[in-house]
Structure 1
Amino acid sequence: MITLRNQYLSVLVNEFGAELTSVKAEDDADYIWQADPAYWKRHAPILFPIVGRLKDNQYVYQGKTYQMTQHGFARDQQFQIVDQTETAVTLLLSQNAATLAKYPFNFNLRVHFELHAHELAIRFTVENPSDQLMLFSLGAHPGFNVPFAGAGNFTDYFIRVAPKAKYRKIPLKPPYSDPADPQELDFTKPLSLNHELFKNDALVLDLEGQQTTLMLANTQNDHGVAISLTKAPYVGIWSPYPKQAPFVCIEPWWGLADPINATGHLEDKFAINRLSGHQSFEAGYQLSFF
């Protein structure tokens, strides 16, 4: 386990999955969900090379069928430490025999964590070291304790989005998405949390690539977390239903689950990213804790 620390925050990152597992402030309360398997066994997995689920858990590429389960394989792979200081670390995952059996591309996935005062910045770099076109999706899935430090109940918490607007919501017909039938979600005012919000799975907002900040806070104290996204096309808000789970995830996505009418061909996949040979793709988000 990797520890990052400054005068305000203490952070733990697991080399397995390059997963953020803990962020504690001065009062020693953890902001990050602690992976109780009764509800959800993960903390903040990385989603690569797909986000969500493929139709029938498979896809076809260049005439060959590949099997891959929900959210891809990065969350279950051992990353290597490339560089580390007291306040920052970079981890790397590259193709190996296990990944090539599911995903026939060479790649380098770098994940960089860095502390700046009350903020933790997470940056992803996807590199295509080959000559061929690379197709991929990418996402983050951080879970946050609700309630935080025992303050109030789930329904005392809310999510506020900036800029305030009515956002295009992409419905899910679990486990698939339905981008052809968009709805509307009003974030001109804060969204109060309740478990029924998630009866149809995650709330997925189409951000259209604009810079967006989502703040998770409560009516009982001044503690919370803000997640700032730059050029993320989508963000998911999720808590498992019908479980009364004491956490909520706010998930920046550079990709989306297969639509209900997906062809199954990777080249046709909705919201897929295309990366030319010897090029790189950068994305990320920032977490501010208060």
Structure 2
Amino acid sequence: MLTLKNDYLTAQINPLGAEPTSIKDNETGLEYLWQADAKYWGRHAPILFPIVGRLQDNEYRVADKTYKMTQHGFARDREFTTTEQSADRVVLRLTADTESRLLYPADFSLTMTYELVDHQLKVNATVTNPADTGLDFSFGAHPGFNIPFGDATADFTDYVVTVAPKQTYQRIPLVGPYSDSEHSLPIDLSRPMGLTHDLFEHDAQILTLTNPETTVMLSTAADDHGVALTTTAPYLGIWSPYPKQAPFVCLEPWWGLADDVKATGDLATKVAINHLEAHQDFNASYQITCF
């Protein structure tokens, strides 16, 4: 486990999956990240690559050849190499190998950078295409946050999600595990979204983000603690497992979506896919502010 520390926070990053496993307040010891109780969900904040969500029949095609890949891709279960480390910053990298090419026939490099700056954990992902041909992929993050935070007596339903800018967004419904982008519906987020477990009866709430930057805050009037996630991602998933009534919620910046209900299986035409030309880089970032 890799430990980052500054004057305010201590974070731990697991090289397996380059996954953050803890963000603690140094003064109070308050833990912000979900601690992977397998009774509810056995992960903390996995990386989603090279797909977000689920493929139809867990299959896709590249150049008329069919490949199998399970939900959210394989990066979350692969060992990353630590390439740089200091007291408050670490860089980890995953590159294509024989094992990955059985699932995903592409050369790639995925570099994850984590840095503590004051009360923030800053996260940057860089996807590099080292090949002479194009690269199709999705990327996302899946951090879970404790509800309540610390020893607070607040209930799940005492928490709200506030989205800034405050406006009406488009919400993409899911049909089973698949996106139904054609039937997006407006959702008024000029006021905070109250949390209930029933909100997730049909899986994640998925928002289309059209602003240059969006901040999503998880907080309660019952105490002063919460988190804010700021990102440039085009989509945001809000999720808690239903009907388990789990004591956490995930705020998930996504650069990609699950297969559409009308997906053809061709990776190049997959909904919300990212395409990198030869020898180009793609950057994705988000920041978690703890208070």
Q: Indicate the TM-score class for this superposition, using the shorter chain for normalisation.
A: over 0.9
- Deviation for aligned residue 1:210: 2.8
Does residue 41 (structure 1) correspond to residue 42 (structure 2)? The answer is yes
Stretches of 4+ aligned residues off by more than 3 angstroms: none
* Alpha-carbon distance, 1:227 to partner: 0.3
Identity across matched positions, percent:
54
Question: What amino acid is aligned across from residue 210 of structure 2 in structure 1?
Answer: E
| Alignment match, 1:188 | 190
Cα distance between partner residues in 1 of 2:169 and 2:212? 12
Written as runs of structure 1 = structure 2, the 5 A alignment for 1:1-290 is 1-25=1-25, 26-151=27-152, 152-208=154-210, 210-230=212-232, 232-290=233-291
> Secondary structure of the residue that 2:283 maps to in structure 1?
strand
- Partners of 2:32 and 2:149 in 1: CA distance: 6
Could you tell me the TM-score, scaled by structure 1's length?
A: 0.99
1:91-128 deviations in Å (ceiling 9; x for gaps): 00001111100000000000000011101100000000
- TM-score, length basis structure 2: 0.98
- Alpha-carbon deviation of 1:59? 0.4
The one-letter code sitting in structure 1 at the alignment partner of 2:163 is V
1:180 alignment partner, SS class: helix
Read off the aligned partner of 1:18 and give its amino acid letter.
A
Q: Deviations over 1:152-199 (max 9, x none)?
A: 110111110100001100001121010000112111001111101000
CA distance in 1, matches of 2:272, 2:8: 38
Alpha carbon RMSD of aligned pairs, Å?
A: 0.7
Q: CA deviation at 1:254?
A: 0.2
For the residues of structure 1 that align with 2:211 and 2:159, how far apart are their CA atoms?
A: 26
Q: Deviations over 1:40-81 (max 9, x none)?
A: 000000000000000110001101000000000000000000
- The number of aligned residues is 289
Q: Distance in 2 between matches of 1:241 and 1:184?
A: 23
Deviations 1:206-229 (Å, cap 9, x if unpaired)? 002531000000111110000001
Unaligned runs of 5+ in 2: none
Query: 3-state SS of the aligned residue for 1:240?
Result: coil
Structure 1 residue 29 displacement after superposition: 1.3
- C-alpha separation in 1, matches of 2:35 and 2:97: 29
Q: SS in structure 1 opposite 2:181?
A: coil
3-state SS in 1 of match to 2:222: coil
Give me the whole-angstrom Cα distance separating, in 1, the residues matched to 2:257 and 2:211.
Answer: 14
